[in-house]
Structure 1
Amino acid sequence: MSNLTDMEIFARVVSAGSMSAAGREMNLSPAVVSKRIRRLEEKLGTRLLQRTTRQIAMTEAGQGFYERVVAIIASVEEAESFVSRGSARARGSLKVAVPTSFGRLHIAPHLGNFLTANPDLTVNLDLSDDFVDIVGDGYDLAIRIAELSDSSLVARKLSPVHRVLCASPSYIARYGMPETIEDLSEHVTLAATNQDPWRLAGPDGIETVRTRAPVKTNSNEVIRECLLAGVGIALRSTWDVGPELREGKLQILLPHYRASRDVGLYAVYPSRQFLPAKVRVFIDFLAGLYGSEPYWDTGLEDWLRLPSRAKAG
């Protein structure tokens, strides 16, 4: 067990980013943490971490060792939970990476119910729009809104993601309603820098639309606020603007055009032989909460039933 403890300390140091931060998490002094890491390196006969006065960095051997340690610790936690409880009850700390807006709107409001059902579990929710390295950054799982192709990870689809062209009534009143895809070239079209151009599936196949706007930003939340303020037209997910569409604060435009990529909401986690109970229960909770017909699409069924690749009859 002493070797496992040293591995746990190593994993905590990597996750926390420094020996002092890891020591605070484990109630150990930096000197003790350093001694245990040094003992582990001596046992393995290789250096795992490059140390400076301010930070640490993994060596190539340390990176490979860390990836395997994370999997070992998860398997041990699962085994201990099964033996001690008679079932795989969730316990411990769950570290999850979530896109900023989605986490604020559709995960944070439901955490109370999840934690009530899992009283032995704590959740470390990291809201970020960066594409995190799940294994390297020490996450148990990540929630991603994406078109997935990384075979080194396991992914479970939690929900479809629908994207709609929309604008505020004030914008439409000033600049008119676009009637064709070509009309968009005469309008202000808003997109974050990583979402330009738009690729839309419509009656004549795939159309590429380059956005044009007086606002340039890498923030989806800034684009959302500009959309609501009447600055221009945007392509938004229904999970993001569903309430505004239902309340008439936004209006759907060119409803026969859809985002062309097969984007979904996924729970993504490292490929492991045994899925820890804490990861499984969180994924199951979200899958039950969202599903194939997520609550944020309520009231938008007529639009969702419209064909995107055939002209309206």
Structure 2
Amino acid sequence: MSNFGDLEIFARVVGAGSMSAAGRELGLSPAVVSKRLRRLEDRLGTRLLQRTTRQIALTEAGQGFYERVVAILAGVEEAEAFVSRRSAIARGTLKVSAPTSFGRMHIAPNLGDFMKNNDDLNINLLLSDDLVDIVGEGFDVAIRIAELEDSSLVARKLAPVRRVLCATPEYLAENGTPKILDDLAHHNCLTHQVSDTWRMEGPEGDVSVRPAGNIHTNSSEVVREAVLAGLGIALRSTWDVGRELADGRLVQILPEFESTSNVGIYAIYPSRQFLPAKVRVFIDYLAQIFGGVPYWESGLSTQETPKLKKEA
């Protein structure tokens, strides 16, 4: 918007995390930003922000107000773009959240072509394995790998997730290859936490395994490096180890057992009547490069696991 209203100033302050940062984005001094916020609070008759010398925090009223202001501003931006016949052009800054490993392996390498085709767009990509508050932290879209529950947010599935049991040929040569699921009890299984449970689908339906091993970590990347180092067996996503499975550095074991098919890779964004062009083109781009059979499945065999019908 060319005329910075009090609502946009308020939204920028929350998104930037400070008045000075918001002022730099808007080309206003911190004093002017502070004055405009006070005027907004006076008009509303309530405090929206708790201010300290180091940070700001939304009050309860401010949180609810911010969620509605973000939706209003997005709608205004989209309406202006539509009227000026620019609705197909992505402009501004797109703030994206993504899991650390997936973002590094499959989003960052694909940004080149996207940016070439959207040269009026800036991307602020934040990688974290924490579950971010999309609205509260001002994200336009978040990439999540999950089995989604009911939410007030909008989700679009970009790709399925297939997780397989795997190990290096060297580990299997030294320790033997499991023939049945119970054989995992005699192997070093690499897990995220001590209480980790592997939930899979097999010929007779859903099964759960409590793996045991001598390495436990809160880092998915540590587990990945450990299995590649030949330290044990791991349950890994093909988006994470597809290349290693294809070139033989890892071998899939017990292929009749794979992780539940309910998990997917999703683009999550706030529920809005008018989706900003910058969000739409980014999600469409990811859906195009990940959709159908994802490229990380290239060269891998997919075994369809038959489900046995229970007799009545």
Q: By the TM > 0.5 criterion, same fold? A: yes
Alignment of 1:200-211 (within 5 A): 200-211=200-211
Distance 2:228 2:24 in 1: 44
Alignment of 1:174-213 (within 5 A): 174-193=174-193, 196-213=196-213
Match of 1:106 in 2: 106
Alignment of 1:13-92 (within 5 A): 13-92=13-92
Distance 1:220 1:26 in 2: 39
Q: Unaligned regions of 5+ residues in structure 1, if any?
A: none
Q: How far apart are residue 261 of structure 1 and its match?
A: 4.9
Whether 1:262 aligns to 2:262 is yes
Could you say what secondary structure the match of 2:216 adopts? Answer: coil
Q: How many residues align?
A: 309
Which residue identity lines up with residue 174 of structure 1 in the other structure?
E
Whether 1:306 aligns to 2:300 is no
TM-score by length of 1: 0.94
List per-residue Cα deviations over 1:33-66 (Å, max 9, x = no partner). 2111111111111100011111111111100000
Seq. identity, %? 66
Q: 1:6 to 1:122 in 2, by over 3 A?
A: same
- Preserved CA contact (<8 Å) 1:11 1:66: yes
List per-residue Cα deviations over 1:216-254 (Å, max 9, x = no partner). 211101110111011111111111101000111100010
List per-residue Cα deviations over 1:173-218 (Å, max 9, x = no partner). 2211111100111111112139811111112322211122222211
Distance 1:64 1:244 in 2: 47
Is the deviation greater in 188-197 or in 40-49? 188-197
Distance 1:309 1:190 in 2: 28
Which residue identity lines up with residue 102 of structure 1 in the other structure?
F
Match of 2:253 in 1: 253
Which residue identity lines up with residue 303 of structure 2 in the other structure?
R
Distance 2:195 2:12 in 1: 35
Distance 2:65 2:228 in 1: 48
- Preserved CA contact (<8 Å) 2:78 2:87: no
Q: How far apart are residue 308 of structure 1 and its match?
A: 5.2
- Preserved CA contact (<8 Å) 1:255 1:306: no
Q: How far apart are residue 2 of structure 1 and its match?
A: 9.7
Is the deviation greater in 242-251 or in 259-268? 259-268
Alignment of 1:114-125 (within 5 A): 114-125=114-125
Q: How far apart are residue 25 of structure 1 and its match?
A: 2.9
Which residue identity lines up with residue 305 of structure 1 in the other structure?
Q
Greater helix fraction, Structure 1 or Structure 2:
1
Distance 1:31 1:46 in 2: 20
Q: How far apart are residue 150 of structure 1 and its match?
A: 2.8
- Preserved CA contact (<8 Å) 2:160 2:261: no
Q: Unaligned regions of 5+ residues in structure 2, if any?
A: none
Please provide the CA RMSD for this pair.
1.9
Q: How far apart are residue 82 of structure 1 and its match?
A: 1.6
Q: How far apart are residue 120 of structure 1 and its match?
A: 1.1
List per-residue Cα deviations over 1:64-96 (Å, max 9, x = no partner). 000011111111111122222354321111111
Whether 1:224 aligns to 2:224 is yes
Q: How far apart are residue 260 of structure 1 and its match?
A: 2.2
Distance 1:89 1:238 in 2: 34
Whether 1:159 aligns to 2:159 is yes
Distance 2:306 2:34 in 1: 60
Which residue identity lines up with residue 307 of structure 1 in the other structure?
T
Which residue identity lines up with residue 243 of structure 2 in the other structure?
P
TM-score by length of 2: 0.94
Q: 1:186 to 1:209 in 2, by over 3 A?
A: same
Distance 1:65 1:194 in 2: 42
Which residue identity lines up with residue 306 of structure 1 in the other structure?
E
